Amino acid sequence: MTSVNAVTRQIAALEISNTKKPASTARAPATKQAAPPSGNFTKLLTKYAAPNPFTNASNKPTNPSSLRHPTPATQPAAAKPGHAAQRSIDIGSYDGGLEIDNEKRGERVYGEAAEELALDSSVSKKHPTREWSLHDFDMGRPLGKGKFGRVYMVRTKAEPKYIVALKTLYKSEIVQSKVEKQIRREIEIQQNLRHPNVLRLYGYFHDEKRIFLMLEFAGKGELYKQLSKYHRFSERRSSRYIDQMADALIYLHGKHVIHRDIKPENLLLGINGELKIGDFGWSVHAPGNRRMTLCGTLDYLPPEMVEGKEHNEKVDYWALGVLTYEFVCGFPPFEDRNSVNNTYRRIAKVDLKFEDKDVRLSEEVKDLITRLLRYDPQKRIPLTEVQKHPWIVKYRPKETVRDST
């Protein structure tokens, strides 16, 4: 199978001119839109992750034939030189998993649930796409399994043959778990997000039993697997991830989106190792910014959620502090493997310790973690200040500019 690096080299060799800019969405007034990615990464987005390939330019739903005969308005100008090279990219061997699963699991749903889960991006009011079906893809290797189905690497059959990750969700299992509204909300939130460190949802469609999500292909996979492999990351690597996280969270909060489940398992890595926030299952669009629902992962819950109090976007500040600690130490700061209740107590008391003899941390990273993990949400360091923190600035690549004024 062609390696990720080989894919990058082949794309770079095409010398594609990036004439079409990705669609962008304005940030909150306090921040400026992040600079678009450059170099090989821009070329990769243009040709494979496809920043804007499936949008219906006329803003009206089209029939399936429009994909097979793209109009000049929707086909990237630089697509033709790369056609042969794209066909040569190995997406891996399909294992027949969708057919096997469809025989063994899931049932057709009816009534209100069927209407709730009849999700199709071609009839979306904000960003309608072309009409899609499973027959429009060449199936590739499995990328993983989720609670409600599998994820596959696929390529569109029509030119210019974009590569995406296709995620399957079984409707009846969603209904059994009573998360119809949550799934619908997750999809609606993610479809409207445009940021280089947020996993893109390009489109979605459904059949009698399943929902299919067309997601950006994160070439280097799950960050959690990297963390498990190395146990912990260097401060340099951790700092660069947290810098990207802060920028993405500023963007999300500017859209009144609180993620509420930041953790390594919900983060992916792009083809150049850039971080991507995925899985918006617990996210909420909350213009009022006050919520009461207890959700997320225990080790990452802030005191206000543990104590059942109202919470706002600053729960993500706390989670960023926990994430920073886990990156550099290899385990969450308040984890007690012997007792869930002890974990709750340590969170509520903010029982933060830096005592691992095997890990020597800089005073700078300790300072940032301490300033994020404050009991009072109002006293947590703002994300714009995180971007200016000495530990972040120290390791930021020179070519990266963060304007947080």
Per-position DSSP letters for 335-393, written without gaps between them: --TT-HHHHHHHHHHT------TT----HHHHHHHHHHS-SSGGGSPPHHHHHHSHHHH
Of 243, 261, 299, 316, the active-site residue reads 261
Binding site residues for ATP, as ranges? Answer: 147, 167, 216-218, 265-266, 279
d(CA 45, CA 133): 23
Q: Could you give phi then psi for residue 103, rounded to 5 degrees?
A: -80, -35
d(CA 303, CA 78): 51
Among residues 399, 252, 246, 375, which one has the least CA distance to residue 323?
246
Catalytic: 243? no
- Three-state DSSP class for 235? helix
d(CA 262, CA 250): 14
d(CA 253, CA 275): 18
d(CA 85, CA 398): 33
Residues annotated as part of the active site: 261
